A and B are shown apart, each in its own frame.
Chain A
Amino acid sequence: MYSRVIDDKVLTLAASGWTYENTFVLYDRESESLWYHLRGEDGLTCISGDFKDRKLVEFPSTKTRWRFWKAEKPHTKFLKF
C-alpha cells in the first residue's frame, strides 16, 4: 500500500499494463508518470515523467486470511463487491 499524495496533489494510481521483471509498472492518471517499486527499496519511485525520481512512501499492509484479520480487527470494513 502506498501513499498517493505528492506536493499536496492527490494522484490516481493505476496499472499501466506493463510489467517489468514480473512487477507491475504503475502510472498516475493525472500526469501519466510511471511509478515502480524498485527491488530492494521501499515505496514507489517515479521512473519517468513529471515526478522523476520522487518517491511515494509505503504503508504497512498484510496479505492474510479474512478470519485472522477479522479476529485481530473486529471493527474492520470489507470491500463491497
Chain B
Amino acid sequence: MSLLLLFYLKVDPPGAVMKIFKADKQSWIHTAMLSLLFVGTSLFAFSLCGCSVTDVQDTVPRPVEVEESGEKIYITDQTGKQWEISHAVNKYGMQPENWQYGLGPNWFAPLILPKMRCPGDPGYPTGDDFFRNFSTDLVVGAEIKGDARAYPLAVLYNHEIADENFGGIYVAVAY
C-alpha cells in the first residue's frame, strides 16, 4: 500500500496527495482511482508470485498408474499411495484404467461425529428466506429411531462422508 502511494506520489505533483485528504468531490475520485490501482496491483502481484491452492494434486482425470506383480494389481494415486485392487478387478470387473482422480485418502476429510444444532439453539436455521440461507437450503435428511438430522449439501460436498451415530446406530451419511 505504501509502495503504491509512493508510486502515486512520483507520478503526480505533491499537491495531488493533499487532495485525497480533502472532503470534496475531487478527493473521492482520487480515492477511487487509488483503490482501483491498489486492487489491480495486488491482483497482478498475486498472479506473479504463482500463489495457488496448497494441494499439488490435479483435479482432472489423468491416466492411472497401474502395476501388476504376480497375481496382484496395484494402482498408485497422486500422493504416491498404492492400492491393491486385484479382487475388485477380477470379481467385479472394475478395470484399472477406469479408476479416476486418485486424489489420495486425505483429500476429503470425513466429518466425524460432528456437532449438531437443536431447534431453539442459537444459529439453528429458520429456513424461511431461501436466498439468505441458500447454502443451507439443499440438505441430506435422515432419521433413525426418532433422531432426525439434516446436513447441508454445500458442506457435505467438501467431506463426502459424515461418520455418525444416530440413536445408537453407527452410520455413514454420504453426499
A residues adjacent to B (C-beta < 8 A) = 1-5, 10, 12-21, 24-27, 29, 34, 36, 38, 45, 47-49, 52-53, 56, 59-67, 69-70, 73-81
Given contacts A18-B100, A81-B155, contact A12 B163 (CB under 8 A): yes
Interchain CB contact under 8 A, B171 and A66: no
Interchain CB contact under 8 A, B88 and A36: yes
Contact of A62 among B83, B101, B136, B141 (CB under 8 A): B141
Q: In this complex, which of A3, A19, A34, A66 has the most chain B Cβ atoms within 10 angstroms of its Cβ?
A: A66
Q: How many angstroms between the C-alpha atoms of A30 and B117 in the bound complex? A: 29
CB distance from B116 to the nearest CB of A (A): 4
Query: Given A4-B171, A29-B105, 5 more contacts at CB 8 Å?
Result: A26-B160, A63-B153, A79-B111, A79-B149, A79-B151
CB distance from B130 to the nearest CB of A (A): 8
Interface residues on B, range: 35 or more
Could you give 13 example pairs across A and B, Cβ below 8 Å?
A: A2-B174, A4-B163, A14-B110, A14-B161, A15-B108, A17-B108, A20-B94, A20-B100, A21-B98, A34-B83, A48-B86, A69-B150, A81-B114
Which residues of chain A are near B105, meaning CB under 8 Å?
14-17, 27, 29
Which residues of chain A are near B175, meaning CB under 8 Å?
24
Which residues of chain B are near A20, meaning CB under 8 Å?
94, 98-100
Interchain CB contact under 8 A, B127 and A13: no
User: Chain A: which residue is nearest B94 at the CB level?
Assistant: A20
Q: Is the interface of A mostly helix, strand, loop or mixed?
A: strand
Q: How many angstroms between the C-alpha atoms of A69 and B106 in the bound complex? A: 31
Interchain CB contact under 8 A, B87 and A48: yes
Interchain CB contact under 8 A, A17 and B114: no
User: Chain B: which residue is nearest A37 at the CB level?
Assistant: B174
Which residues of chain A are near B106, meaning CB under 8 Å?
17
Contact of A65 among B123, B128, B139 (CB under 8 A): B139
Q: In this complex, which of A17, A26, A59, A74 has the most chain B Cβ atoms within 10 angstroms of its Cβ?
A: A17
Q: Confirm or deny: B6 has a beta carbon within 8 angstroms of a beta carbon on chain A.
A: no
